Structure 1
Amino acid sequence: MKIGTDGVLLGAWASVDNNPFSVLDIGSGTGVLSLMIAQRSFAENIEAVEIDDDAYEQCSENFESSPWADRLFCYHASLLEFVEEVEDKFDLIICNPPFYSEDYKTTDKSRDLARFNDAMPFEHLIYAVVNLLSENGVFSVVIPHKEESNFVGLAHNAGLFPHKILHVKGNPDSDIKRSLIEFRFKEEKTETTELIIETARHQYTKDYINLTKDFYLKM
């Protein structure tokens, strides 16, 4: 399974300034976000939840093969099952959710599950975060820019407020493609910044290199 730019960006950008003890990666896929947070922080308990069979197996293998195996654990469950069963609170929750809301489906069930919004509606995600985030915790997510106002509105209604927003553009002339948003329970002024990935094909900007260079073998 490929590693996408969205996951790498979120894993590098998500704040660990509050020195999280416990971290939750919702819809972990192959576990890239969890592994990045393990590399960046001293969090002692990093849990991931993944519903897809193949992704769960890959995630568990990746965790076991990593230098941080003793701090990482993947649950094979749906998000709502996880919320019902787990009583712990998490200092950092991260999520690169499925967000293709088109009506069509492909013949590849695993791909559909990873890509389509009905696998994890935004309402379910926010419900889970409100129930699982510690009082001073941080929730970081990456979504399509076109969904930003809708997602922020849903979060606001549930008592979560945006602290930082990063708007991501593929190149200087393209539209904003992604929004990376950090939420907390406390309402404060939102800091909004912009990141451009490339100036030309495979010509990465200094900002992108500085953000992600610790995670690529060649950058």
Structure 2
Amino acid sequence: MKPFKFKQFTVLQDRCAMKIGTDGVLLGAWTPISDTTNSILDIGTGTGVIALMAAQRSGAEIIDALEIDTEAYEQAVDNFEASPWGDRLFCYHASFQEFFEEIEDPYDLLISNPPFYAEDYKTSDEQRDMARFQDALPFEHLFIGASRLLSNQGKLAMIIPFKEEERSIEIAEQLQLYPQKITRVKGNTTSEIKRSLLLFGFNQIECEIDELVIENSRHVYTKEYMDLTKDFYIKM
């Protein structure tokens, strides 16, 4: 499995069940990060790509990541140490539930590309299944943890299947977390909406909603997608 080279860092992924994919890169590039964002937590970091993107995009002093799978955790640590931002990146080997029950310092930003193939059958690869299935991190846990870990003005950013958007908003609202920005993602102009990028916060404000199309035609990317990812992808 070849390393994935970005413009400013390289990600080894041979030990991770979930390889680098469009979802993670989209989320890492799309998540709003402000000058006041000093602490970031990437939940279920896998290769560490989202935390690395956050380090490239921000001056946040604390960029923590969390990974329950041992192989992926060790690989994320290696990827962090090899990057230009090794002094700001730290990975915890724990489940999110263990983590949010023990940690007391709040974060300004939580980012998660959660496992979400709830309806799919399981394969014989247990490691890959854990990375892909909700059993390991159901939405409820994500929002409960976020409601405890976020600072007052803190935000939670995530990417989920579009069909789960409504349900996740309902769960979040029970914990006083409200959608502030939603971007719905389509593969091309004629395809159905496949993913939702969601930003939640404690303030109930008017939610900004837009749409992102990835390709005009096969391997011909839209300007919007190229603008979003050009700081990362070498060929953009």
Could you say which TM-score interval applies, normalised by the shorter chain? over 0.9
1:22–1:46 CA contact under 8 A, matched in 2: yes
State the distance in 2 between where 1:159 and 1:90 align: 17
Root-mean-square deviation (CA, aligned residues, Å) is: 0.8
State the distance in 2 between where 1:112 and 1:89 align: 30
State the distance in 2 between where 1:30 and 1:4 align: 11
**Aligned partner of residue 188 in structure 2, secondary structure:** coil
Higher mean Cα deviation, 123-132 or 94-103? 94-103
Higher mean Cα deviation, 13-22 or 67-76? 13-22
Matched, 1:27 2:44: yes
Please report how far the alpha carbon of residue 84 of structure 1 lies from its aligned counterpart in structure 2 after TM superposition.
Answer: 1.5
Please report how far the alpha carbon of residue 138 of structure 1 lies from its aligned counterpart in structure 2 after TM superposition.
Answer: 1.1
What pairs with 1:125-204 in structure 2 (closer than 5 Å)?
A: 125-204=142-221
- 1:91 aligned residue: 108
State the distance in 1 between where 2:71 and 2:188 align: 34
2:35–2:59 CA contact under 8 A, matched in 1: no
1:19–1:42 CA contact under 8 A, matched in 2: no
Amino acid at match of 2:87: D
Amino acid at match of 1:201: R
Amino acid at match of 1:14: T
Unaligned 5+ segments in structure 2 are 1-12, 14-18
Matched, 1:82 2:76: no
Please report how far the alpha carbon of residue 85 of structure 1 lies from its aligned counterpart in structure 2 after TM superposition.
Answer: 1.6
**Aligned partner of residue 70 in structure 1, secondary structure:** coil
Matched, 1:56 2:69: no
Please report how far the alpha carbon of residue 103 of structure 1 lies from its aligned counterpart in structure 2 after TM superposition.
Answer: 5.4
- 2:29 aligned residue: 12
State the distance in 1 between where 2:184 and 2:119 align: 23
Matched, 1:102 2:119: yes
Amino acid at match of 1:89: P
Higher mean Cα deviation, 158-167 or 15-24? 15-24
2:110–2:146 CA contact under 8 A, matched in 1: yes
2:20–2:49 CA contact under 8 A, matched in 1: yes
State the distance in 1 between where 2:81 and 2:180 align: 34
- CA deviation string 1:124-158 (max 9, x = no partner): 00011001000001110000000000000000111
- CA deviation string 1:184-214 (max 9, x = no partner): 1000111100000001111000000000000
- 1:208 aligned residue: 225
Higher mean Cα deviation, 100-109 or 110-119? 100-109
State the distance in 2 between where 1:49 and 1:205 align: 33
The alignment covers a number of residue pairs equal to 219
- 2:141 aligned residue: 124
Unaligned 5+ segments in structure 1 are none
Segments ≥4 residues shifted beyond 4 Å: none
- 2:84 aligned residue: 67
The TM-score, its normalising length taken from structure 1, stands at: 0.98
Percent identity (aligned): 59
